[in-house]
């Protein structure tokens, strides 16, 4: 258990120090964390709505922070290149995220073209029913993405690494809330980077 907690702390720290330099990114992660925590509560009542919240707001804001605002030049704070960080990333690096978000965007398109998904679903009666199908599709995509990468890590690393990463992903909203709750205030005060000496890399 001690080893598990140590590995979890290490993965969290690596993720924070390598991929969250921008205070815009941190602020978007705070918004994402608040939305994900709310979605976790809604999940017990209405999984489709919870998934629409998680993917429509939490994931889009979270990944927008990484795609558009996080520096991708040499990381002067940690002394490593962006390519090196991408190579050692345990979970979804930017390339894998591009693939994942492409699948996310494809779900509503597929369900618009094939509302019954070749007879597997009841034909939606109106926009709300269609959105519920999208929500469930996104929920299955999220579960599948976590399961796929977890099992993949079993083979390229070990079982412990996969289980630790899966635990990290599921509990990230709570950790991000604690880590980044001060970011919006700092951003409004005119700060842009968590480490001012790394502004040149932005």
Instruction: Kindly report, residue by residue over 98-132, the tens digit of the pLDDT.
Output: 999 999 999 999 999 999 887 778 888 999 999 99
% of the chain at pLDDT higher than 70: 96
In this structure, how many other beta carbons lie within 10 angstroms of the beta carbon of residue 166? 17
Spatial separation of the C-alpha atoms in residues 13 and 172, rounded to whole Å: 12
Closest CA to 169 of 192, 191, 153: 153
Q: How far is Cα 94 from Cα 66, in angstroms, rounded to an integer? A: 8
- At 61, list the tokens: 């804001």
Query: Would you call 86 exposed, middle or buried from its count of C-beta atoms within 10 A (0-12, 13-18, 19+)?
Result: middle
pLDDT of residue 198: 56
Average pLDDT over residues 148-159: 96
- The answer to whether residue 199 scores a pLDDT higher than 60 is no
The chain-wide mean pLDDT, for the chain, equals: 93
d(CA 146, CA 12): 16
Average pLDDT in the 89-105 region?
94
pTM of the complete model: 0.90
SS (H, E, C) the chain: CHHHHHHHHHHHHHHHHHHCCEHHHHHHHHHHHHHHHHHHHHHCCCHHHHHHHHHHHHHHHHHHHHHHHCCCCCECCCCECHHHHHHHCCCCCHHHHHHHHHHHHHHHHHHHHCCCCCCCCCCCCCHHHHHHHHHHHHHHHHHHHHHHHHHHHHHHCCHHHHHHHHHHHHHHHHHHHHHHCCHHHHHHCCCCECCHHHHHHC
* Residue 177 token pair: 């809330």
Structure tokens at 13: 């720290």
């Amino acid at each position: 258990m001690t080893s598990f907690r140590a590995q979890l702390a290490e993965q969290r720290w690596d993720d924070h120090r390598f991929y969250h330099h921008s205070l815009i990114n941190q602020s978007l992660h705070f918004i994402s964390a608040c939305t994900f925590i709310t979605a976790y509560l809604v999940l017990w009542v209405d999984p489709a709505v919870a998934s629409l919240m998680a993917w429509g707001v939490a994931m889009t804001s979270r990944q927008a922070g990484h795609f558009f605002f996080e520096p991708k030049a040499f990381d002067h704070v940690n002394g490593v290149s962006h390519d090196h960080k991408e190579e050692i990333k345990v979970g979804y690096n930017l390339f894998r995220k591009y693939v994942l978000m492409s699948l996310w965007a494809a779900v509503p398109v597929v369900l618009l073209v094939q509302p019954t998904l070749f007879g597997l679903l009841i034909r939606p009666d109106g926009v709300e029913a269609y959105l519920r199908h999208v929500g469930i599709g996104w929920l299955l995509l999220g579960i599948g993405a976590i399961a796929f990468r977890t099992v993949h890590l079993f083979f390229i690393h070990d079982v412990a690494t996969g289980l630790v990463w899966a635990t990290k992903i599921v509990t990230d909203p709570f950790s991000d809330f604690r880590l980044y709750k001060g970011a919006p205030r700092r951003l409004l005060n005119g700060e842009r980077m968590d480490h001012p000496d790394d502004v040149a890399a932005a």
